[in-house]
Amino acid sequence: MVNFAAGGIATPADAALMMYHGCDGIFVGSGVFGAEDPEAMGTSIVEAVNNWDDPEALARIASGSGKGMKGQSNADMEEAEMLQGRGV
């Protein structure tokens, strides 16, 4: 059986953590494209997957990836903009 992680993988640390927990690979999407420098973030995530068990390499990799995707709080979001309602 092959185990892939998908959803919420937006940084080299996310990718390395999934590999640590036994994933065979990961899928990335908006977390990369929403980053400050998508190409650098994508490259860093690939490097993190290949070096997930080397803390020194991970520190070097993460320091060169730029800022990740900026999140958006739903506390101030109009209900019409939300993808789904909560507590109903």
Residue 57's pLDDT is 95
Residue 86's pLDDT is 59
CB-count burial class (<10 Å; 0-12, 13-18, 19+) for 15: buried
Residue 36's pLDDT is 86
Looking at residue 70, the DSSP 8-state letter turns out to be P
Residue 85's pLDDT is 64
d(CA 10, CA 15): 8
Segments of the chain with pLDDT less than 50: none
Residue 62's pLDDT is 86
Q: Where are the domains of the chain?
A: 4-69
- The tokens for 35 are 């980053």
| H-only helix segments in 2-88 | 12-20, 30-33, 38-50, 55-63
